Amino acid sequence: TAGNKILHFGACRVSMSMTEIRAGFTAIKANIQARDPIRTLSILSSPRSLHKVKSSDRCCITHHLLNFYMDKVFKHCKTEDSYVNRKISSIANSFLSMRRKLGQCHEQNQCMCGQESTEKFKEILANYEGMNVTSAAMKSLGELDILLDWME
């Protein structure tokens, strides 16, 4: 089914529809990853994996990452393929819906940013800014399943 899941980000619990996002990404994953020639670099995974982030920091880093994808990734991934563009729009609007729900935890102070999440997010930004915008955005989009796996 559309598969809303209750995701736990430390003290923050949010119901999110992950199945639709995964279906949208799966439909364009090969196309997007084919546009990313530099296979030796990663935006999300180096130097430390997301999986090493403490539970209490999960909400804050998720909030940062949702903003990161909306501010710096989706808008730089426009392609000549209208099918791909529609799927990107679908994912982007679902991220917007998710960030709104996460924002409720932010308001209830359940989304505090610890040292670790701040450091980790700086690494991700540094990886992103170490490349030209379009390549970095396309690579980040190609790594979306890393983020989704970690969130779930």
Positions that interact with other proteins (CB under 8 A): 1-4, 15, 17, 19-20, 24, 70-71, 74-75, 82-83, 85-86, 89-90, 92-97
Smallest distance, Å, CB 17 to other proteins?
A: 5
As measured in angstroms, the least distance from the Cβ of 21 to other proteins is 9
Taking the least distance from each CB to other proteins, the nearer of 53 and 66 is: 66
Q: How many CA atoms lie within 13 A of 144 on its CB side?
A: 28
Give the separation between CA 150 and CA 62, rounded to whole angstroms: 10
Shortest distance in whole angstroms from residue 123 CB to other proteins: 23
Instruction: Compare residues 53 and 68 and give the one whose CB is closer to other proteins.
Output: 68
Selection from 1, 33, 62 nearest residue 143 by Cα: 33
Q: Which is nearer to other proteins, 54 or 86 (CB)?
A: 86
Smallest separation (angstroms) from other proteins to the CB of 15:
7
d(CA 124, CA 130): 10
DSSP 117: H
The CA distance from 17 to 4, in Å, is 4
